[in-house]
Structure 1
């Protein structure tokens, strides 16, 4: 199963209408880490347990972000790409956190109970299915429906709620001693769109009504705040440049990326973007030297090693990719996604001596991300290649249950029950899965 980071869906995507019409979740270890780093202090300031809030990246070029379906924050890739510095994205995160902390999701949760006729159900739950599957990286997204009028109505906030979320965001930023100027700038961008027709406005404006009073209030706060001139942690600026370069490299056409990041730009972010653009253009003769030069300068950067592994793996060179993935996993042992990519490469080798290592890596993946259906499925394949059919069946049952494939889950769980030692922890888990699959969904 070849679906490593950022590859499959983006073939044929070039920032065209086709790309904008598809909606799905994307995964990327580096970008998820950066956004989590930005968001954690905000969540803490709001009194939320950071690990309780799930952050999802939506593969959509429009400027949008929303919270829905519980403690889930969705950020469009288009919104991230439109930010020029970390404070703007952090301001959006703070605002959306204000909706969570203010209890503005109660109406949404109530409506979700009867939302089968709402197109937002397809959008949000389709995205959730992509999260559960864990398939692929930042390009292996699952289509989850378009942005319709019903979705906009479903996610619509009142002006009072928007104002309350603004005030909460400003308070959270003050508590973290971070400048609120980024939020002011973002609100200004939205305010400028008020003059456009509704069909030309970004979805964020349609679901988050803006007023000049809101902009003025936020600007006044920023001026009065003792942190108005505060800079974010210095590392954030480098993180942000890399994140934008990576999204540009994978989501824009290679020619577009190479125009934006010409060879005369020798910054790390530009070199990163060019390496990705050459890789996506199937020009490994330029891509591999670009990434090798970055690795030579930054030998302990896990994401450069990860990208090198992807370049090689996606071009049928799994044996060469494995050492790069192994180095990335050594440098970021807590990254389930990197371990998952390594596991795919190990299985692709077809070498029975490496299947045991794939099993070990995948065991860590499902420990770190127990809801990752794709990882459970790959673990089942690894067990099967090693001849461990009972545990293969159990892993496949876990995967099927997470995907909502109840008949498949029932079959695999029953198969595991028949072959595992009765009363063992694995047998008990198989029995639980069988019982869960037998129950009718509510």
Structure 2
């Protein structure tokens, strides 16, 4: 993709640690995905269908079109209210005026609902084309809508379709099925394949990370232990083992985590992404539980070095966090690796947070505060970032050995973030 198009379609994905099945898109290329959605879908095609639908809302300018539609209807609603007031004043029966006012508002609201349903249909159809051209199966749309219908079957009987902001799920299923005759006839050949084993492990990870209650984590760990004892080696058991290992690790149950980890690593996988996912989980388990060696002989040191040298973001960040319990020389190497990364990816909040933790471990409060500020800025918390930058400035000026280069960088960042805070305050003023 040319640089100009890459910049134009530079989507910013935000993951929300929430168990609900939801995703949303905002103007400016922001896409929010709940972990509950990732944990629910059974294939990458289903996840791609949701993302394609939400991205199409932005690419088709649905929000701006909806606002334009509302502004076009505003004069008619106002006219109906004026006519209603005139009718009420000219007649002794005030019901005539009330009927005119309510009727005008009802017509406007019904028009908005019709327009909203049309936009949802357009997002479905445009999204279908986007995902199939990207190499995913269009059948994912059908199976995803089936899941939505099953999840809402107890509180949605399909009544009053004309009062809904979305088309009936049955209509959407029929529309998508019509676009994939004979199952997969119109699907593009996969160009970006996502293996079933890799998806199963990432969905399992999302299910665990979306949970905070101990009893739910214990349930996931028990399911993982049952899967570890099973002789079956399908993707369902693979995902259950992965979830069990991660849940047991969060519960600090070392024997259970290592036992399930041995079973997980014994499960055969064919693709590099799945093997890397197993390695990074192994590293996470060893570093969290402070164990030096995994079942099968893999050492914490070897995995950490492999992760730090990896181009994989997940591995690199796990490797950097694993150095927090190591010596200063290893931590300095991780700092250099992370500095290179955040230079190329300045909006990576987790990378900045990890860098801040490493600087704290190295007794470098100025650099730690600045990295923490950059992490807050990446999370759209400009006031918090400004507070941390000013704290870093104070530490730098009170230091025995003043680093003038670092101080200059801090001064420049303070001016930049201060301008962002002032701009936000102006936008928040009611008459700004």
Query: Which residue of 1 is the match for residue 116 of structure 2?
Result: 158
Instruction: State the 1:380 CA deviation.
Output: 4.1
Query: Which residue of 1 is the match for residue 339 of structure 2?
Result: 363
1:58 aligns with 2:16: yes
Note the 1:197-212 alignment, pairs <5 A.
197=155, 208-210=166-168, 212=170
CA offset digits 1:289-333 (Å, max 9, x no partner)? 235535999899322221111111111237953432322343x32
Using a 3 Å threshold, how does the CA distance of structure 1 residues 210 and 261 change in structure 2: closer, same or farther?
farther
**Contact 2:41–2:47 (Cα < 8 Å) also in 1:** yes
Query: Which residue of 2 is the match for residue 255 of structure 1?
Result: 222
Name which of 220, 237, 242 aligns with 1:270: 237
**Contact 2:200–2:238 (Cα < 8 Å) also in 1:** no
**Contact 1:68–1:108 (Cα < 8 Å) also in 2:** no
Using the alignment, how far apart are the partners of 2:146 and 2:269 within structure 1? 42
* Residue correspondences, number: 343
Using the alignment, how far apart are the partners of 1:380 and 1:178 within structure 2? 39
Query: Which residue of 2 is the match for residue 408 of structure 1?
Result: 388
Using the alignment, how far apart are the partners of 1:324 and 1:51 within structure 2? 35
Using the alignment, how far apart are the partners of 1:414 and 1:89 within structure 2? 47
Name which of 405, 411, 414 aligns with 1:434: 414
1:106 aligns with 2:56: no
Instruction: State the 1:230 CA deviation.
Output: 5.8
Using the alignment, how far apart are the partners of 1:345 and 1:177 within structure 2? 36
Q: Structure 2 stretches of 5 or more lacking a match?
A: 69-113, 158-163, 212-216, 294-298, 426-432
1:327 aligns with 2:306: yes
1:240 aligns with 2:172: no
CA offset digits 1:123-156 (Å, max 9, x no partner)? xxxxxxxxxxxxxxxxxxxxxxxxxxxxxxxxx9
Name which of 177, 180, 183 aligns with 1:222: 180
Query: Which residue of 2 is the match for residue 32 of structure 1?
Result: none
CA offset digits 1:384-404 (Å, max 9, x no partner)? 554656545543543455543
1:90 aligns with 2:69: no
Query: Which residue of 2 is the match for residue 34 of structure 1?
Result: none
Using the alignment, how far apart are the partners of 1:296 and 1:157 within structure 2? 47
Query: Which residue of 2 is the match for residue 290 of structure 1?
Result: 263
Using a 3 Å threshold, how does the CA distance of structure 1 residues 399 and 306 change in structure 2: closer, same or farther?
same
**More helix, by proportion:** 2
Instruction: State the 1:438 CA deviation.
Output: 4.5
Instruction: State the 1:248 CA deviation.
Output: 4.9
Match of 1:277, SS? helix
Using the alignment, how far apart are the partners of 1:63 and 1:268 within structure 2? 22
- Larger relative contact order (CA 8 Å, sep ≥ 6): 1
Using the alignment, how far apart are the partners of 1:360 and 1:341 within structure 2? 15
Instruction: State the 1:185 CA deviation.
Output: 2.7
Using a 3 Å threshold, how does the CA distance of structure 1 residues 223 and 368 change in structure 2: closer, same or farther?
same
**Contact 1:63–1:79 (Cα < 8 Å) also in 2:** yes
Match of 2:15, SS? strand
Using the alignment, how far apart are the partners of 1:245 and 1:396 within structure 2? 30
Quote the RMSD (CA, aligned, Å): 4.1
Using the alignment, how far apart are the partners of 2:202 and 2:292 within structure 1? 26
Query: Which residue of 2 is the match for residue 33 of structure 1?
Result: none
Using the alignment, how far apart are the partners of 1:237 and 1:399 within structure 2? 33
Using the alignment, how far apart are the partners of 2:317 and 2:371 within structure 1? 15
Name which of 131, 144, 150 aligns with 1:186: 144
Note the 1:130-169 alignment, pairs <5 A.
158-169=116-127
Match of 2:181, SS? helix
Using a 3 Å threshold, how does the CA distance of structure 1 residues 385 and 173 change in structure 2: closer, same or farther?
closer
Instruction: State the 1:183 CA deviation.
Output: 0.9
Q: Structure 1 stretches of 5 or more lacking a match?
A: 1-40, 111-155, 200-205
Match of 2:346, SS? coil
Using a 3 Å threshold, how does the CA distance of structure 1 residues 421 and 176 change in structure 2: closer, same or farther?
closer
Using the alignment, how far apart are the partners of 1:78 and 1:265 within structure 2? 26
Instruction: State the 1:103 CA deviation.
Output: 0.7
Give the TM-score of the pair, scaled to structure 2: 0.65
Using the alignment, how far apart are the partners of 2:329 and 2:147 within structure 1? 56
Q: Which has the greater radius of gyration?
A: 2
Instruction: State the 1:275 CA deviation.
Output: 4.9
Query: Which residue of 1 is the match for residue 154 of structure 2?
Result: 196
**Contact 2:139–2:183 (Cα < 8 Å) also in 1:** no
Instruction: State the 1:162 CA deviation.
Output: 0.3
**Contact 1:413–1:433 (Cα < 8 Å) also in 2:** no
Q: Which moved more, 1:60-69 or 1:297-306?
A: 297-306
Name which of 277, 290, 294 aligns with 1:316: 290
Using the alignment, how far apart are the partners of 1:298 and 1:189 within structure 2? 28
Query: Which residue of 2 is the match for residue 343 of structure 1?
Result: 320
Using a 3 Å threshold, how does the CA distance of structure 1 residues 159 and 438 change in structure 2: closer, same or farther?
closer
Using the alignment, how far apart are the partners of 2:244 and 2:181 within structure 1? 41
